[in-house]
Amino acid sequence: MTIEFSKKLTATETPIPGVVLYDLPVHGDNRGWFKENWQREKMVALGLPDFSPVQNNISFNEKAGTTRGIHAEPWDKFISVATGRIFGAWVDLRAGDSFGAVFTTELDPSQAIFIPRGVGNAFQTLEDTTAYTYLVNDHWSADAQGQYTFLNLADETAAIEWPIPLAEAELSDKDKAHPRLADVTPMALKKILVLGADGQLGKALRAAYFGEANVEFAARADFDLTAEKSYIGRNWKNYSTIVNAAAYTAVDTAETPEGRKAAWAINVTAVANLAKVAAIHGITLVHISSDYVFDGSKEIHTEDEALTPLGIYGQTKAAGDAIVATVPRHYIVRTSWVIGDGGNFVRTMASLAGRGIEPSVVDDQVGRLSFTEDIAAGIRHLLDVNAEHGVYNLSNDGDPQSWADIAADVYELTGHSRDAVTGVSTAEYFEGKQAAPRPLNSSLDLDKIKATGFAPATVGQRLAEYLDEGANT
């Protein structure tokens, strides 16, 4: 066996999505050779997923021609050769457009390959005493074995050109009996779990993911955030993402003893439980934040602004943000002034306009509406493009407005006079009422999420559409 020494560490994409071939630097002299078979920092910098391996397996093969596979397993693998040489064959057995795609190559100790969950793996030894080694990011178990997907080594559709004909190779009886591609049930994608699926944002996420078989929606009755059994009664290994669209949002009630207890239970304790699950199982956690984590002293809020909450609700949301930020794979999506399918400010103003009521509306709180349609689309976008993890502001676009400005727009769009709305200060509006403190400036800077390729619609566009839809329902 001849090994090419001192190659540069490089990554090469293959025809199978997510399958990446690596050249490894091997250093040799008269004593033999040395290589860094797995070097997390360097390989992650090259684009290898930080897949957190937990087990190292070695397959020793005494004779050339030993052939194993094609097995698709419910975990990711990083494969290399310790000694000898192999012909490797990989077939995409995941549900999706790339099902059936094939890639083959020869591997010696100077190469390695990353194989995502659900891609069938097979190899044929080309030299005696070959050791084939692989890191995996889940522990083998009998239950996991039941999730394997198999393809016959001789499948005519894959048409793998084995260097040593299968009739002359060493195969197991099990591998000989695996099905042809036409009879293979594709491995299902890992699931996305949407919590709070009965709320305004949850309903919008149902619409955004309508018809997607790998998205599971859990309403309050399906997943009680405050119940321990919710976190332990589920096989989390089958999930890629949790979208936490559930929250305690009664801003003023949070200032009461009972409200404070409930707010902390749902916005903090439950979030800590979700974060623990996500961290342990390598799940991406999407968490919805709020403009209430700021005191409103700045005219526009960027993602890196220090948290300065005023009231109990804001404090619980800030605490939840801090917890989620410790999860290796996380998106904190910060919104303001949410409008969706349910009771909200816009519907209240439209109702008042229709009844001929002339309201007094706060005119010293400034921000932008966030329609749930766009929040849901933004969340999906971040996941679909695999955006860098972290905090993203997400509201609708356009010039910031006061609540009074928005109320006047609602009146005008519903055929009533803007002059029916009278502006008052926050202090005047809440005089004599028990109310939580509110940030006066809630405008969120949108540059970061726009840089990922997502462009939220303007408030004006969405408001007109929302009111038009309401008039026709």
The residue out of 125, 151, 183 marking a domain boundary is 183
* CA 416 to chain CA centroid, nearest Å: 43
> Of 22, 71, 330, 381, which is the active-site residue?
71
Domain with 311 in it: 191-471
Mean pLDDT of 435-455: 96
- Whether 99 and 165 map to the same domain: the answer is yes
**Quick one: pLDDT at residue 1?**
55
**Quick one: pLDDT at residue 119?**
97
- Whether 145 and 196 map to the same domain: the answer is no
The residue out of 183, 211, 240 marking a domain boundary is 183
**What percent of the chain lies above the pLDDT cut of 90?**
86
**What's the Rg (C-alpha) of the chain?**
28
**Quick one: pLDDT at residue 142?**
62
- Tens digits of residue pLDDT in 339-359: 999 899 999 999 999 999 999
**DSSP line for 228-275:** THHHHSS-GGGEEEEEE------TTGGGSHHHHHHHHIIIIIHHHHHH
The residue out of 183, 215, 250 marking a domain boundary is 183
- Whether 155 and 196 map to the same domain: the answer is no
Q: What tokens appear for 437 in the block? A: 């403190």
- Tens digits of residue pLDDT in 204-240: 999 999 999 999 999 999 999 999 999 987 889 889 9
- Tens digits of residue pLDDT in 184-203: 999 998 999 999 999 999 99
**Quick one: pLDDT at residue 5?**
77
- Tens digits of residue pLDDT in 388-419: 999 999 999 999 999 999 999 999 999 999 99
| Number of domain units in the chain | 2
- Whether 127 and 217 map to the same domain: the answer is no
Mean pLDDT of 423-430: 94
134 annotated active-site: yes
The answer for residues whose C-beta is within 8 angstroms of residue 454's C-beta and 6 or more apart is: 377, 378, 381, 382
71 annotated active-site: yes
- Whether 204 and 150 map to the same domain: the answer is no
- Whether 178 and 33 map to the same domain: the answer is yes
In a domain, 4, yes or no: no
- Tens digits of residue pLDDT in 136-183: 998 877 666 668 899 999 999 999 999 999 999 999 999 999 999 999
**Quick one: pLDDT at residue 149?**
93
Report the distance separating Cα 473 and Cα 471, nearest Å: 6
- Whether 163 and 250 map to the same domain: the answer is no
HSE-up of residue 228 (Cα within 13 Å, Cβ side): 0
**Quick one: pLDDT at residue 237?**
87
pTM above 0.85, yes or no: yes
- Whether 271 and 398 map to the same domain: the answer is yes
- Whether 113 and 224 map to the same domain: the answer is no
> Of 22, 132, 134, 411, which is the active-site residue?
134
* Cβ atoms 42, 35 nearer than 8 A: no
How sure is the predictor about 432, in pLDDT bands with cuts at 50, 70 and 90?
confident
- Whether 94 and 126 map to the same domain: the answer is yes
Q: Indicate which CATH number applies to the domain containing 268.
A: 3.40.50.720
**Quick one: pLDDT at residue 369?**
98
473 has pLDDT over 60: no
**Quick one: pLDDT at residue 459?**
97
In a domain, 2, yes or no: no
Burial of 265 (0-12, 13-18, 19+ CB in 10 A): middle
How sure is the predictor about 6, in pLDDT bands with cuts at 50, 70 and 90?
confident
- Tens digits of residue pLDDT in 240-293: 999 999 999 999 999 999 999 999 999 999 999 999 999 999 999 999 999 999
Q: Report the mean per-residue pLDDT for the chain.
A: 94
